[in-house]
Structure 1
Amino acid sequence: MSNPQLRLIYDEIGAEKIKEIVNAFYPKVYADPDLIPIFDEVEMPEIMRKQQLFLTQFTGGPALFSMEFGAPRMRFRHLPHEITPTRARAWLRCMKEAFIEVGIWDEPVGQEFYQRLMQVAAVMVNTEEA
């Protein structure tokens, strides 16, 4: 069963805007000293493709991620990586910068989307700070 608010996000921003977000986001991630240890062994094009599939599904669009990889289970998929509160904040900072770059940060749909990503980031934390 889909959440009507999530459907609204996908309906408002669409597939092209999700692609723009991903394209703006990952260069920031790969340049971030807190995040690069998680991503340095993963090819950027493949991780971008997976993120685009996930965000499409996450915002209420077609279940592209699940069709290819099964249930998202993002926390489980990220358990092999040390996701600290600092890394979660860095991930969100990169996402905010991407939202600004693609022009949705100041829109209500951008704020709703970001709030939902804040929840995801909080759930992903699996390691305390050193």
Structure 2
Amino acid sequence: MTTTFYEEIGGSDTIRTIVDRFYEGVATDELLRPRDPEEDLGPAADRFALFLIQYWGGPTTYSDNRGHPRLRMRHAPFAVTPAAKERWLVHFRAGLDAADLTPEQDAQFWDYVTHAAQFMVNSLE
């Protein structure tokens, strides 16, 4: 029986810990907060958690409810600048630091998010 990375790291509880800490930072970030039009960041946090859960081998609830992730398309209306990417990574790093991951698990997760964040940059201004 194969264990997914999702199961290895503790499943939904671990992903939710990471995402909750991430959004605590975003909520007060002057650069990132204005990009999320929802007053309550809860729905955005839930969508992000469901995406990460699915990406790492958990239930496919994200795609079942929203279809293909199409990350660049979904973020196209927002100017994702190198500065925004760096702020995003600061808050994601805090989320990973809040999780009880092994150094290897942390490195695998961090490698994915740093590449994904760079991929999302769509504006230099």
> What residue number does 1:23 align with?
20
Show the counterpart of 1:107. Answer: 103
Counterpart AA for 1:22: V
**Residue matched to 1:66:** 63
- Could you say what the CA RMSD is over the residues aligned between the two structures, in angstroms? 1.5
Q: TM-score, normalised by structure 1?
A: 0.87
From the two aligned structures, give the one with the greater helix fraction.
Answer: 1
- Which stretches in structure 2 are left out of the alignment for 5+ residues? none
Pairing 1:117–2:97 present: no
Q: Percent identity?
A: 31
What is the alpha-carbon distance in structure 2 between the residues aligned to residue 127 and residue 37 of structure 1? 16
For residues 40-91 of structure 1, the C-alpha deviation after alignment (integer angstroms, 9 at most, x for no partner) is x223110011011101011121222100000000110000011001101110
Listed as ranges, the matches of 1:1-130 within 5 Å are 8-13=4-9, 14-39=11-36, 41-42=37-38, 43-104=40-101, 107-129=103-125
Structure 1: 5+ residue runs without aligned partners? none
TM normalised by structure 2 equals 0.90
